[in-house]
């Protein structure tokens, strides 16, 4: 847990706290925070602002039967909810498992060429999120971004021109950044990657391949 | 503004819901928080009907999650804020928002009283600091939390002293992790 070196930014954590982050990025935030107590504490601090705002807010009249209706909701399902946690030794924390429908073996990978595989977990007009699996030593196609891209390492590690990213590390890239991550020799590198715009590949063949990648 | 005594009383209500399924404790929390949650949801853009339904759902969720409340990491109003915010997004999207894993205290361990008191103090100070912000700045923070700003517009620099509350929560998390070993 204390090995994580690359964290979420305050902007991203506050946007998650305020509820204004697109779904794809929320999944990366929820997954990283599940692995990183530093970012959990920072997120909780931003949530504390929300608590102060709600406490300070004016009040609005409830419906006449509001309390009775709420008690009826509770009566319909009075059990305390089990804590949501992945079991020890899982590759994926609980929020990611909710999207995959299980841990790593449940992922439905599709080949995208060059030994690289991916599984799209969610796509909308605003954002998309997918799992990417890169064999050790293999380079990702050179790509820039039209928007923001967040990449969280779940297994293995990758390097780019700037740094090394291992399990739990998250890289946040903006549109100015052109980088060519390469998976470290050894085991496959598995990442969770969210973008708020389709990726733009610089090399010719990956650009043609892009429609098939569905990103 | 919430006093520490008030905060301790509310935390006690949640504990009694957890330990004794105490309806009177629930009603006390409901009468204070439900009208605020509904106002928050309406300011976040929900219609009156949706805000009412979402408030009822959020308060029912409070009951079902009472055993997961950790007073060394969140004040009662903070915890209720997170439940209401998540419910709002769930309802808008018609699917569950991705949320971090829960890390509750086990049945045999619980947070230290000093951590609980420290967090309650920090929460009260944060509320005071928010109230004392220049009007324009305070409105900007509120706007962000009512969901009026897009994520690219949000400036994390709020002018609020978040460093100490963050350190408190970090410490509480360390003790929790230690107790799990």
What residue in B sits closest to A52 (Cα-Cα)? B127
> Residue A66 and residue A136: Cα distance in Å, rounded?
58
- Residue A93 belongs to domain with CATH number: 2.60.120.10
> What is the rounded CA–CA span in Å between residue A151 and residue B104?
28
Residue labelled with tokens 């305020």 = A18
Nearest to A183 by CA among A213, A211, A141: A141
Instruction: Report residue A203's pLDDT band, with 50, 70 and 90 as the boundaries.
Output: very low
pLDDT value for A105: 97
ipTM of the assembly?
0.97
User: What's the confidence (pLDDT) of residue A126?
Assistant: 79
From chain B, pick out residues whose CB is under 8 angstroms from the CB of A66: 34, 52, 55-56
Confidence of residue A141 (pLDDT cuts 50, 70, 90): low
In A134-156, which positions are buried (b, 16+ CB within 10 angstroms) versus exposed (e)? bbbebebbebbbebbbbbbbbeb
- pLDDT tens per residue, range A77-131: 989 999 999 998 999 999 999 999 999 999 999 998 889 999 999 988 778 999 9
Residue A64, pLDDT > 90, answer yes
Does the distance separating the beta carbons of A27 and B80 come in below 8 Å? Answer: no
Mutate which: A51, A86, A90, A147, vs B, most B CBs within 10 A: A51
Shortest CA gap B52–chain A (Å)? 7
Instruction: Tell me if B27 and A67 make a contact (CB, 8 A cut-off).
Output: yes
**Helices and strands, counts by H and E, chain B:** 7, 0
On whether the CB atoms of residues B62 and B25 are closer than 8 A, the answer is no
DSSP label at residue A179: B
User: How many domains does the structure of chain A reveal?
Assistant: 1
Domain that holds residue A135: 1-215
Please check whether residue A86 touches B, CB under 8 A.
yes
Question: B80 and A54: CB-CB below 8 Å?
Answer: yes
Pair B70, A41: CB distance under 8 Å: no
Q: Which residues have CB under 8 Å from B105's CB, separation 6+?
A: B70, B111, B176, B179
- Kind plus residue range of the DSSP H or E element containing A70: helix A66-76
Q: What is the average per-residue pLDDT within A181-194?
A: 94
Instruction: Check residue B56 and give left, alpha or beta (phi > 0: left; psi -120 to 50: alpha).
Output: alpha
- Nearest C-alpha in A relative to B125: A52
Mutation target to probe the A interface, by most A beta carbons within 10 A, among B42, B45, B66, B78 is B78
Distance CA A40, CA B169 (A): 9
Q: What is the mean pLDDT of residues B4-15?
A: 92
| pLDDT tens digits along B86-131 | 999 999 998 899 999 999 888 888 899 999 999 999 999 999 999 9
Mapped onto helix, strand or coil, the DSSP state of residue A113 is coil
- Catalogue all structural domains in chain B, each as residue range(s) with its CATH number: 4-180 (1.10.1740.10)
């Amino acid at each position: 847990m204390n090995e994580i070196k690359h964290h979420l930014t305050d902007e991203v954590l506050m946007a998650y706290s305020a509820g204004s982050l697109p779904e794809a990025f929320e999944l990366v935030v929820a997954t990283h925070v599940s692995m990183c107590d530093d970012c959990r504490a920072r997120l909780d601090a931003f949530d504390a602002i929300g608590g102060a705002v709600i406490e300070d807010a004016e009040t609005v009249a409830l419906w006449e039967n509001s309390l009775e209706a709420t008690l009826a909701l509770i009566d319909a399902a009075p059990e305390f909810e089990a804590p949501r946690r992945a079991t020890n030794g899982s590759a994926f924390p609980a929020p990611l498992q909710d999207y995959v429908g299980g841990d790593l073996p449940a992922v439905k990978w599709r080949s995208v060429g060059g030994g690289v595989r991916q599984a799209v977990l969610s796509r909308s007009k605003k954002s998309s999120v997918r799992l990417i699996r890169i064999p050790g030593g293999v380079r990702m196609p050179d790509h820039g971004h039209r928007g923001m891209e967040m990449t969280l390492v779940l297994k293995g590690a990758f390097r780019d021109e700037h740094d090394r990213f291992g399990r739990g590390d998250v890289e946040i890239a903006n549109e100015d950044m052109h980088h060519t991550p390469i998976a470290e020799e050894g085991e496959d590198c598995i990442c969770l990657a969210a973008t708020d715009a389709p990726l733009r590949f610089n090399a010719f063949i990956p650009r043609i391949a892009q429609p098939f990648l569905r990103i | 503004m919430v006093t520490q005594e008030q905060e301790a009383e509310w935390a006690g209500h949640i504990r009694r819901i957890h330990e004794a399924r105490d309806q009177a404790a629930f009603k006390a929390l409901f009468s204070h928080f439900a009208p605020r949650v509904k106002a928050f949801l309406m300011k976040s853009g929900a219609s009156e009907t949706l805000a009412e339904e979402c408030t009822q759902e959020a308060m029912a969720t409070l009951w079902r999650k009472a055993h997961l409340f950790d007073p060394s990491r969140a004040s009662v109003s903070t915890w209720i804020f997170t439940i209401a915010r998540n419910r709002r997004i769930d309802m808008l999207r018609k699917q569950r928002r991705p949320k971090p894993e829960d890390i509750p205290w086990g049945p045999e361990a619980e947070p230290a009283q000093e951590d609980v008191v420290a967090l309650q103090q920090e929460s009260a100070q944060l509320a005071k600091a928010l109230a004392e912000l220049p009007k324009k700045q305070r409105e900007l923070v509120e706007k962000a939390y009512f969901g009026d700003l897009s994520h690219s517009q949000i400036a994390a620099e709020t002018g609020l002293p978040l460093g100490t509350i963050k350190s408190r929560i970090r410490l509480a998390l360390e003790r929790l992790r230690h107790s799990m070993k």
